[in-house]
Amino acid sequence: MSQRQLAMVMDLNKCIGCQTCTVSCKTQWTNRNGREYMYWNNVETYPGVGYPKKWQELGGGFDSAGDLQPGRVPSIEGNYGVPWDYNHDELASGAEFKPNIEPTWGPNWDEDEGAGDFPQDNYFFYIPRICNHCTNPGCLSACPRDAIFKRDQDGVVLVDLDRCQGYRYCIAGCPYKKIYFNPKISKSEKCILCFPRVEQGLPPACAQQCVGRIRFVGFLDDEEGQVHKLVHKYKVALPLRSDKGTEPNVYYVPPTEAPPKFDAHGKIIEGSNRIPTEELEKLFGSEVHQAIKTVKTEMQKRKDTGKSELMDLLIAYNHEDMFRLDSGYYKEYAKKHSLTPKKLLDERYSAGKNSNTMKFFMPSNAKGGDS
Amino acid sequence: MKNLLKVLITLSFIGSSLIASNSIKAMKIPGNVSDIGPTSKAWLSTSYQDVIVYPQTTIKLNDLDANAMNADNSAKKLRVKAITDGKNISFLIKWKDESKSIQEGYSTTSYGDGFAVQFPTSYKDSKKLPYIGMGSVGRSVVVHLQKATGFTYEPNGNNDVYHQVNENNQNAFHEDIQKYRIKVKETAISDYQRVFISEGFRSMTQIKDGSESSKMQMVYKNGYWKGSLSLPLKSSYLNLNKGAFPIAFAIWDGDKKNRDGLKLLSSWIGVKVVGKSGGEKLIDLLNEKSKGDVNNGEKLALENCAACHRYKNVNMAPDFMAPNLSNIGGYSTKEYLMESIVEPSAVVVAGYNRNAHKNFTWYDVDEKGIRTSTMPSYEWLDEKSRNDLVVYLQSLKAEVK
């Protein structure tokens, strides 16, 4: 258990599957040797096999008694897909454009396929996935070298590459398969929740770059924060596959809004929803029913009265409100533990429970001066 | 006839516990042994000693596929030679492995064969040697490890981030990309040889400052691996410059996804330096033949151990409740078994991460980090019973096939 927990909320109603988050993570971190196949952040289509292929069936996590479950280590050929490239260099000399290997599988191979029959009831939605920085991480429990640790200050789960010997039991232990083996350095690597950015007042790259503004970042115990409100106050953001017992800290607002189904004559079936709630229940547990209800009720409330705090949150007006990184807390923590506090690169997202910050931009309706 | 068979079986059962590991004789030879590989002619001057390695079954790791592949592992015979020049000592280890496995290529499921040699940092009290599984608190070991790998790279090697970035992210083409590739290759490490200091499973830490120098090599030929280790008799961690010292071996089969605890390991074996006096007591202890009533021991184990420990076909205890004893006889000394029965907290096996099976904690930890075993002492057993129990425990081990 860490002192506090930094968490992320993703609103699946707004994810358009553009992979900007994936690309931002790729260019920020995973463009190094051996990380070609790694997607610390990926966006997969549901229903679909996901990345790595069939990750939900590869074991790991805990059973109800709290025992770590055995799992499988996915292979690049079978589960991730061998990364390929094209012969751009040779095109100038008249060569045929071709991949260096015959691609047979890769991330998003089944993108947008979904399930159901077109046009009656076909459907799909996107799930962006990063490391869940679990409160009870399966990877940490599986490591025989105690090379994985959960940071005390914010609960970020990290691999100590000095201790890691590349045994890969962590991969078997993670039910989300969000820890990867780097074959070039023979060590395991994973999403670091951009902690070097967070410590300097910048939100994780995937969250800042998100064009749909679906990602909220903040401390779970920060009652003023939008993350806290979505997870604890309105309970509309739910952890993914919480039945795996790792207590994940990335929360999802389930996709509540989908077009209605068509009948055999192509007519709209009023009141129907293409996304079966049973499917959402598989991912987010039985709490999903209440979450959907709350979102729907608040939406109606907004229509009727024009007011709804939840709708305002989900509209995501300002990055400053969506990202509350509590820089004052990091500064205090560093002082207390004789670490060097990081200089802030950006002060816009530094608000939080332990931080007194000034707003950079005045709201447009605010009056200047004391006239 | 039936009775005779019974007697024979009983005899062979007792017999198996009587076979003690014979010590390895280190011959002194002229010249320098600090730099000899497995194919050196220097090895011709001495003969092999058999050492049996047993499957590690004390804890079960969490890789489904690997566990299935290793479920029926038998013990294996290693052949070991040792020579010394008075300043350095070298070991040659030969073992059969039908498949040569090297951890290489762009793969997450490739594992290399390998071997390790373990020494205690202190063996003054030969009755209290470190725990065989990478030492124990206050009884540290040095482990020399060699694995068969292709090229690997240090993370952030020499802080040269530029040459770690994938070539597709470089603004380089044609000759420039060729040059870049050469530069990257120059940063590669081709030899996966490591030295660790450890006070028990989980605590193993790599010695990176070069203070523990050694040379290891492994070569594969005709279905056999031959591995060599040369190291100085005296270093900052080890003092092997005595008449005798303990040693232990482990091997990994990459083809069966072996790594870490999925391995075969030996018990502590005595190395006798020929022509050097001292160490007789240690050799005697490690070679000591236990005598006792193995049937009574089995009965006592069922009465006293089986509620918590699993072993062989006795699986009444919940999984993960306590160390599995199925191969305890293979990799334990008599003294260790006796000590563990009487004083369970003397050596506490760090076992699973305490979070992995939280209903079955093998030990408690106080605020100072001191571990106390949850096993009660069996000091109340009379001496004969204790001895019979040890004789039975020593018989728990896989057969060599």
Which domain covers residue A185, as residue numbers? Answer: 6-319
- The rounded distance, in Å, linking the Cα atoms of B275 and B307 is 49
pLDDT at B20: 41
- Residue B260 and residue A167: Cβ atoms within 8 Å? yes
pLDDT band at B3 (very low <50, low <70, confident <90, very high): low
How many alpha carbons fall within 13 Å on the CB side of residue B104? 14
pTM: 0.92
- Assess if residue A342 is contained within a domain: no
**Chain B residues with CB inside 8 Å of A74's CB?**
108
Coil/strand/helix, residue B221 = strand
Query: Is there a domain that residue A241 lies in?
Result: yes
Contacts A82 to B, Cβ<8 Å: 106
Mark which residues 116-175 of B lie under 8 Å from A by CB.
Answer: 149, 152-155, 161, 164-166, 168-169, 173-174
HSE-up of residue A330 (Cα within 13 Å, Cβ side): 28
Q: Spell out the residues 6+ positions from residue A368 whose beta carbon is closer than 8 angstroms to its own.
A: A362
Quick check: is A211 in a domain?
Answer: yes
* Residue B201 amino acid letter: F
Which B residues 244-273 touch A at CB under 8 Å? 259-261
Residue of B58, B59, B60, B63 to mutate for A, most A C-beta atoms under 10 A: B63
Question: What is the rounded distance in angstroms from the CA atom of residue A90 to the CA atom of residue A102?
Answer: 17
Question: Both tokens of residue B214?
Answer: 């050694």
| ipTM value > 0.90 | yes
Q: How far is B162 from chain A (nearest CA, A)?
A: 9
**Considering only CA atoms, which of B287, B315, B295 is closest in space to residue B385?**
B295
Q: Is residue A133 part of a domain?
A: yes
Residues from chain A contacting residue B164 (CB–CB below 8 Å): 32-33
| Residue A345: inside a domain | no
Residue A326 lies in a domain: no
Render each residue's pLDDT in chain A as its tens digit; 371 residues. 689 999 999 999 999 999 999 999 999 999 888 999 999 999 999 999 999 999 999 999 999 999 999 999 999 999 999 999 888 888 889 999 999 999 999 999 999 999 999 999 999 999 999 999 999 999 999 999 999 999 999 999 999 999 999 999 999 999 999 999 999 999 999 999 999 999 999 999 999 999 999 999 999 999 999 999 999 999 999 999 999 999 999 999 999 989 999 999 999 999 999 999 999 999 999 999 999 999 999 999 999 999 999 999 999 999 999 999 999 999 999 999 999 998 999 999 999 999 876 655 555 554 444 33
Q: What are residue A202's phi and psi, to 5 degrees?
A: -110, 135
Q: Give the C-alpha separation, A51 to A29, whole Å.
A: 18
**How much is the pLDDT for B120?**
98
Out of A85, A141, A168, the one facing B356 most closely (by C-beta) is A141
Residues B240-259 pLDDT 10s: 999 999 999 999 999 999 99
B52–chain A nearest CA distance, Å: 25
Number of domains into which chain A is organized: 1
User: Which residue segments constitute the domains of chain B, with CATH numbers given?
Assistant: 22-170+179-287 (2.60.40.1190), 294-395 (2.60.40.420)
Least CA distance to A159: which residue of chain B? B155
Taking the Cβ of residue B356 and every Cβ of chain A, the question of whether any pair is shorter than 8 Å is answered with yes
Helices (H), chain A: 20-28, 88-91, 138-142, 169-173, 195-198, 205-209, 226-228, 277-284, 287-305, 309-315, 319-322, 327-336
Of B64, B165, B353, the CB nearest to A72: B64
Cβ of residue A150 closer than 8 Å to a chain B Cβ: no
Contact between A324 and A218 (Cβ < 8 Å): yes
CATH number at residue A183: 3.30.70.20
- Asked if residue A166 is part of any domain, the answer here is yes
- Helix, coil or strand: residue A90: helix
Please give, rounded to a whole number of angstroms, the shortest distance from the CA of A108 to a CA of chain B: 20
Alpha-carbon span A22 to A39, nearest angstrom: 7
Long-range contacts of B5-12 (CB under 8 A, 24+ apart): B10/B294, B10/B295
What does the pLDDT read at residue B187?
Answer: 87
CA–CA dist B306, B327 (Å, integer): 15
**How far is B291 from A252, CA to CA, in rounded Å?**
65
Structure tokens at B89: 């000592």
Q: What is the pLDDT of residue B14?
A: 41
Residue A337 lies in a domain: no
Higher pLDDT, A53 or B19: A53
Chain B interface includes A165 (CB < 8 A): yes
